[in-house]
Structure 1
């Protein structure tokens, strides 16, 4: 959740990047991925879908993370591989952290879950109650 502004900015940056040919997401060190991060990973896939010849790749080591990606239907949008992989010539870089205020954070969390719900019916059923709750909270704070 703390990285949602970073992931959101990266999805937009990738969508606008000229000459983009490959996207690799390195989750080798992840032991857990929350639903907000999953939503923004889905946003990355949707942002670059029409621009790439092959789907983006997620590299994952931890079996729980892999299982989560499988259950959420990520294999329809990504190529899922286990490490080790040959790193690209320029290496892999950490994303710079982007700060967000509380209102921006709430909006991004809501967007991430809406994106997850669009991926498949399982996700829609899983996240609809949370999205309804977040929307109600947002309406109360806007009043």
Structure 2
């Protein structure tokens, strides 16, 4: 039985970091993904990053933006591009359309069996923080390809306008 509420699990063993997303992964998990990106950027001994999406039913665009941020955080620190394991055709199609093949190696089956994963606690965030993270995620996605720029530019402009308005008050 698949649990539809999104969760993130992680493990680090022998230089391999595995991030497993489960269920419906949405913007509520962005703070958790963001912290993971920052921690990975500083993890000594990191050689390989694997993101496992086999138990994922959906990943929203904000969460995808933070997955891209995770990949960017380890660029130049790992030997090869981070790997995403995704066997769901809908998830694969979404990753392809979003330009993830530019920053990830996409595979359908795991290269290595993963070790025991620990669930990461969800980091709560307020409305203002959520808006900031949604904006950051979509700015990252816009840089990946033209499709994303066309798709998300209106959202980014709206969020930037909201941000500017909130600073005026």
Query: TM-score over 0.5 for the alignment?
Result: yes
Residue in structure 1 matched with residue 117 of structure 2 by the alignment: 92
1:141 aligns with 2:166: yes
| Higher-RCO chain (CA-CA 8 Å, sequence separation at least 6) | 1
The yes-or-no answer on 1:24 pairing with 2:44 is no
Which segments of structure 1 move beyond 6 Å, counting only runs of 4 or more? none
Question: Number of residue pairs matched?
Answer: 142
TM-score by structure 1 length?
A: 0.92
Query: What is the CA distance between 1:79 and its match in structure 2?
Result: 0.9
> Structure 2: which 5+ residue stretches go unaligned?
1-26
Q: Does 1:40 align with 2:66?
A: yes
Per-residue Cα deviation, 1:53-87 (whole angstroms, up to 9, x for no partner): 11111111211111000001101111111135532
In 2, Cα distance between equivalents of 1:24 and 1:53: 12
Hey, what's the Cα distance between the residues in 1 that align with 2:50 and 2:112?
11
Structure 1 SS opposite 2:33: helix
Shift in Å at residue 47 of structure 1?
A: 0.7
> 2:87 aligned to 50, 56, 61, which one?
61
Q: CA RMSD in A?
A: 1.4
Q: Which has the higher strand share?
A: 2
TM-score, length-scaled by structure 2: 0.79
| 1:93 CA drift (Å) | 3.5
